[in-house]
Amino acid sequence: MENILSILVFFPAVAGLLGFVIDKKSTRAYGVTVAAIEFFMSLWLWFAFDTANPGMQFVEIIPLIPSYGVTYYLGVDGISLFIVIMATFMTMIGMMSMSIKDDIKNMVVTLLFLEMTMVGVFVALDAIMFYLFWELSLVPMLYIIGAWGGPLRIYASIKFFLYTFTGSLVMLVGMLFMAYVYHNLTGVWSFAITDWYAMVLPLNYQLWLFAAFFIGFAIKVPMFPFHTWLPYAHGQAPTIGSVILAAVLLKMGTYGFVRFSLPMFPDASVMAITPVAFISIIMIIYTAMVAFAQKDIKQVIAYSSVSHMGIIMLGIFSMNAEGITGSVFQMLAHGIISGGLFMLVGMLYDRLHTKDMSKFGGIAAVMPKYAVIFGIFTMASVGLPLTMGFVGEFLVLLGFYKVSPVMTILAGTSIILGAVYMLTLYKKTFFGPITNDAVKKLKDLTPLELWSLVPLVLVIIWLGVYPKPVLEPIDNSVKAMLTFMHKKAITPEAKEIIEVPQTTMEVK
Amino acid sequence: MESLNLITLAPMLIAIAGGLIILILDLINDKLDKSLYVMLTLLILFIDFGAVLGLNVNERGFFDVILIDGISIVSQLLVIAGSMLFIPLALTSKRFHEFEYPEFFALFLFMIAGFQFMVASDNLILIFVGLETASLSLYTLIALHNRSNSYEAAVKYFTMGALAAGFFAMGSAVIYAMTGSIELYQVSQILSARMSGAIDPVPLIGVLGSSILLMVAFAFKLSLFPFHTWAPDVYEGASAPLAGYMSVVPKIAAFVVSIRIFGMYIDLGVEWVRDIILILAILTMTLANVMALVQQDVKRMLAYSSISHAGFIVAALALDTTEGNTAIFLYYALFMFTNLGAFAMLWISRHKVRRFNNRYDHPYEKFAGMIKIMPIGAVMMGLFMLSLAGVPPFSVFWGKIYVMQAAIDAGFVWLAIIMGLNSAIAAYYYLKLIVYMFLMDPVKDVDTVYYNISKPLMVIIGLAAVATVAAIFYIQPLISYIYYMISASGY
């Protein structure tokens, strides 16, 4: 199956189209089944994936618009493989646990289209294809937030759309300029990312292009001054929207940095280490403090999301194998953990119809299973060893320590601050006397809810204890990328900072 | 020079003959139904299309006043294709006054002949004649929509058009005074000789004056800031499909003449013509976008959006590169389907009386909750809006990146960035309609959306939607063809 990536991308879209025909009562089962098939196909991709090969695999190239240089060009490497699997996994789990009743058919169809764009972004190797899926992913999300969201849903959805759209248009200009530079150099138009990798750009071009791509990605991540759309989007989105947004859509930004900015503009990236690290640390500390101040339980998770994205950004800009591998791993961890937390919060909201933490309290007594699972997620979120959250954070901090010990210590406060607000949240929600009568009548998790959470818990613990099967392919691809960046860098500072991984040196 | 080469005139003659046939049919039997006229018009356009396709590139005819080069062929094809998409929209389920007149169809064909003359000549007088034939027919077509604001629109358009025609005539006169010729290819030779000082030097004021006068004339026609003020009112007064038609077809013709005239100035090294066009382009796209943001009526919003898109395309004109000129036609080819589709969606919900608002025909509230009432219609309109906003992979996106790429290619990176930011502003008002259609609750009954729908309209809208969605598959042959044609004619 050489074309498995095309199938992975278009299967959900076709299923979405067919979904219009399915009877309303059966659409949910249909959605879950389709998402499960998609997930198993992505697992198959993993089994067929050659973990020793750090390059692009399952490559498909079909020239689409030769005059523009647009190619239908897909491929997957260690970095994108697991993000794809995580995306299909979270879509499946999210669909299983979905509690939405009205317009369920539209929701399932929208989610399936969204799944297409999500998988598409991570496997596209042509910049225009990437942009196409990237922009297209906004539309279903706009609809999900706008149609099923809270009272401010329309404002939140428009803010989400316009913010990202504006940023990505600047990025588009950057992409067009890259193609123009490539055209000047070779006489051929090409938007293929691998073709762009081969170009060594002068420093001033690198800086401008880095800035253009930075705006597009930073808004999506969202990085500090551009993060204001996220709490609104999370606050208003229905549970499933928050799950997908936190788990997958935010990863598009950080993935973009790894896929585009670093290998294409190595010198500019090295120059950006300090400013990006500075912003990331602001993100980590400031949003953690903001999270602590929230009364709304969902906002706490939303801000903690921003805080954790700061860790991921820091790891990407550490320019060494530990940091980048760690931050790709942290993308997966954050996807599963924060996705799960949003699901948990949603389950509570479905029962109590409030997100105000002061109305909770003492839930552990009435919902023991729920409390246990929430506890595991809380621990994973604060980065307790033997959970998935620890591996990523540890590697990132280890990696960044080589760049700047002081900043690493500041970033390390994220674990402390994270523990502060997450444990406070846990305490307020689960312990203490029951003050709210509604809480007394709460029922524990239904089997469906339980079984959609258990897989997440298993993954969190499995990859916390034994992350090697995932870390190794990521590490291979990251090391190959670093070696390549080192070779490509033109300034001596960049040559010095970009660390050539040891293993590849030995092979030579 | 020697031959009459009448074949170059064939396409226009076909359109004129078709118009006359319709008039004669009406003389013989005045009880014929509009469907007959619609189909006849379609067939005549079909023959016209074939005749244009059969023309050889780079021929002159009729004592050298007709010029069949690549851009004239491409633009004629676009004009005819746009007209073929437009004319079946007359077959609505409700009777609308204008389409009951056979004269409507005759005038329509005369107008097309006028556009064809306009684009197929580099003789300033013939261009003027073509322009006036087309414009006068168009004023009448607008006024036929038998409502008070249609008359207002027609008169407004007529006044502005007359003013523009005056400017055009004066500009041509100045050119004639400087060069003693009205043939653009001779004008450019003589001007370049005089400007380089080979023969007696031309006064700068002459070059300046002629270009300014002509620019004003075409700024009116292309609805560029600050000469755009007529457009929203005229679009609002005209019937929805005609408004959509006006935002595409007459502008294609005007663009061809602009390429010929202003391309000549830029080639002559008159850099400030380029600068002024760029300034106009940026002002047009930005201000029209800002105006579109505050509109309460979808039709007026679409009118401002068309102005903004025109600003986008004018920027490509200023580049004066083959890519830039290709971008103009490519953009219109893609924009045509989407924009006509969007206006046709307004047409199916057109009422004889205003039901929502005394001022507007198509306020946003009318479309609230359309997804619940008419899901397919809402999805189609949503597609058109996303396409206009430049969301990939829909058609206008490809036009946009081609224009932006052409700008970057010509060294105008800042222009591409301005275009990008403008697309972001524009996204808001398109999104507003999507929000109304998909995220709000309906405030009306079924009848308000379905009112004017009929099978032919559905076919046209479906066609436009398919062309919008599937653009990625036909864009390559389209670019190759247009690029080949443009470069063959040396632009």
Residue A481 included in any domain: no
How many Å apart are CA A331 and CA A287, to the nearest integer?
18
| Confidence (pLDDT) at A507 | 42
| Confidence (pLDDT) at A6 | 92
Interchain CB distance below 8 Å, B424 and A162: yes
Closest CA in chain A for residue B480 = A67
Here the tokens at position A361 are: 């309290």
Answer whether residue B149 shows pLDDT above 90: no
How many Å apart are CA B387 and CA B331, to the nearest integer?
12
Partner residue opposite B416 with nearest CB, options A142, A154, A173: A173
How many Å apart are CA A191 and CA B409, to the nearest integer?
15
Residue A327 included in any domain: yes
Average pLDDT of span B143-156: 86
Q: How many of the other CB atoms lie within 10 Å of CB of B43?
A: 11
Yes or no: say if B246 and B332 are a contact pair by the CB < 8 Å rule: no
Alpha helix (H) ranges present in B3-69?
A: 10-28, 34-53
Residue A304 included in any domain: yes
Residue A132 included in any domain: no
The percent of residues above 90 in pLDDT, for chain A, comes to 53
Closest CA in chain A for residue B420 = A169
Virtual torsion, Cα A447, A15, A459, A125, nearest 10 deg: -160
A109 touches chain B (CB under 8 A): no
A165 contacts on B by Cβ (under 8 Å): 389, 424, 427
A369 touches chain B (CB under 8 A): no
How many Å apart are CA B87 and CA B106, to the nearest integer?
12
Beta bridge partners of A72: A62
**Residue B442 to chain A, least CA–CA distance (Å):** 13
Q: Which is nearest to B174 in space by CA: B261, B266, B83?
A: B261
Closest CA in chain B for residue A208 = B413
Q: Which is nearest to A284 in space by CA: A265, A246, A312?
A: A312
| Confidence (pLDDT) at A504 | 45
Give chain B's mean pLDDT. Answer: 88
Interchain CB distance below 8 Å, A165 and B427: yes
Cα separations in angstroms, B216 against B262, B280, B348: 12, 11, 36
Interchain CB distance below 8 Å, A154 and B438: no
B471 touches chain A (CB under 8 A): no
**Residue B326 to chain A, least CA–CA distance (Å):** 12
Query: Beta strand B66-68 with B59-61: parallel, antiparallel or unpaired?
Result: antiparallel
Partner residue opposite B480 with nearest CB, options A67, A146, A147: A67
Task: Look at the alpha carbons of A327, A330, A335, A339 in this order and tell me if their dihedral is positive or negative.
Answer: negative
Interchain CB distance below 8 Å, B420 and A173: yes
Here the tokens at position A96 are: 């299983």
A128 touches chain B (CB under 8 A): yes
A180 touches chain B (CB under 8 A): yes
Yes or no: say if A219 and A167 are a contact pair by the CB < 8 Å rule: yes
| Confidence (pLDDT) at A506 | 44
| Confidence (pLDDT) at B395 | 92
| Confidence (pLDDT) at A508 | 38
> Among the listed ranges B70-84, B341-355, B395-409, which one has the minimum average pLDDT value?
B341-355
Average pLDDT of span A105-133: 93
Q: With a CB-CB cutoff of 8 Å, which residues 396-425 of chain B face chain A?
A: 398, 401-402, 404-405, 408-409, 413, 416-417, 420-421, 423-424
Residue B449: pLDDT band with limits 50, 70, 90: low
A162 touches chain B (CB under 8 A): yes
A37 touches chain B (CB under 8 A): no
Answer whether residue A9 shows pLDDT above 90: yes
| Confidence (pLDDT) at B444 | 62
> Which residue in this structure is represented by tokens 């239904």?
A446
Beta bridge partners of A71: A63
Interface mutation target, options A176, A184, A209, chain B, most CBs of B under 10 Å: A176
CA A297 to chain centre: 21
| Confidence (pLDDT) at A177 | 92
Task: Look at the alpha carbons of B403, B406, B407, B413 in this order and tell me if their dihedral is positive or negative.
Answer: positive
3-state helix, strand, coil in chain B (%, to 5): 75, 0, 20
Residue A498 included in any domain: no
ipTM for the predicted complex? 0.89
| Confidence (pLDDT) at B448 | 59
Go through chain A and tell me how many residues it has: 508
Tens digit of pLDDT for each residue in A484-507?
A: 888 888 888 888 888 777 654 444
Residue B394: pLDDT band with limits 50, 70, 90: very high
**Residue B74 to chain A, least CA–CA distance (Å):** 18
Tens digit of pLDDT for each residue in A376-428?
A: 999 999 888 889 989 989 999 999 998 889 989 988 888 888 888 999 899 88
A&B contacts, CB < 8 Å: 91
A64 touches chain B (CB under 8 A): yes
Q: How many of the other CB atoms lie within 10 Å of CB of A198?
A: 13
Residue A308 included in any domain: yes
Interchain CB distance below 8 Å, B476 and A64: yes
Domain count of the fold of chain A: 1
Yes or no: say if B211 and B167 are a contact pair by the CB < 8 Å rule: no
Tens digit of pLDDT for each residue in A54-113?
A: 889 899 999 988 888 899 999 999 999 999 999 999 999 999 988 888 888 889 999 999
A131 touches chain B (CB under 8 A): yes
A146 contacts on B by Cβ (under 8 Å): 435, 438-439
Here the tokens at position A323 are: 């940091």
Tens digit of pLDDT for each residue in A24-58?
A: 888 889 999 999 999 999 999 999 998 888 889 89
| Confidence (pLDDT) at A138 | 92
**Angle, in degrees to the nearest 10, between helices A447-465 and A388-401:** 40
| Confidence (pLDDT) at B2 | 53
B386 touches chain A (CB under 8 A): yes
Closest CA in chain B for residue A209 = B413
Residue A249 included in any domain: no
Interchain CB distance below 8 Å, B438 and A172: no
How many Å apart are CA B75 and CA B66, to the nearest integer?
14
For residue A353, give its domain range.
Answer: 272-465
Give chain A's mean pLDDT. Answer: 89
Interchain CB distance below 8 Å, A154 and B439: yes
Average pLDDT of span B165-191: 89
The percent of residues above 90 in pLDDT, for chain B, comes to 48
Interchain CB distance below 8 Å, B421 and A67: no
Cα separations in angstroms, A479 against A54, A316, A476, B341: 8, 13, 5, 51
Answer whether residue B228 shows pLDDT above 70: yes
How many Å apart are CA A65 and CA B312, to the nearest integer?
22
Tens digit of pLDDT for each residue in A215-270?
A: 999 999 888 888 888 888 998 999 999 999 999 999 999 999 999 999 999 999 99
Here the tokens at position A419 are: 């523990």
Q: What are phi and psi of A124, to 5 degrees?
A: -75, 135
Tens digit of pLDDT for each residue in B329-371?
A: 999 999 999 999 999 988 887 777 777 777 788 888 888 888 8
| Confidence (pLDDT) at B219 | 92
Answer whether residue A431 shows pLDDT above 80: yes
**Residue A219 to chain B, least CA–CA distance (Å):** 14
Task: List Cβ neighbours of A452 (8 Å cut-off, separation of 6 or more).
Answer: A93, A96, A97, A343
B411 contacts on A by Cβ (under 8 Å): none
A68 touches chain B (CB under 8 A): yes
| Confidence (pLDDT) at B189 | 87
Average pLDDT of span B421-439: 90
Closest CA in chain A for residue B369 = A147
Residue A407 included in any domain: yes
Burial A8-46 (b: 16+ CB within 10 A, else e): bbebbbebbeebeebeeeebbebbbebbbebbebbeebb
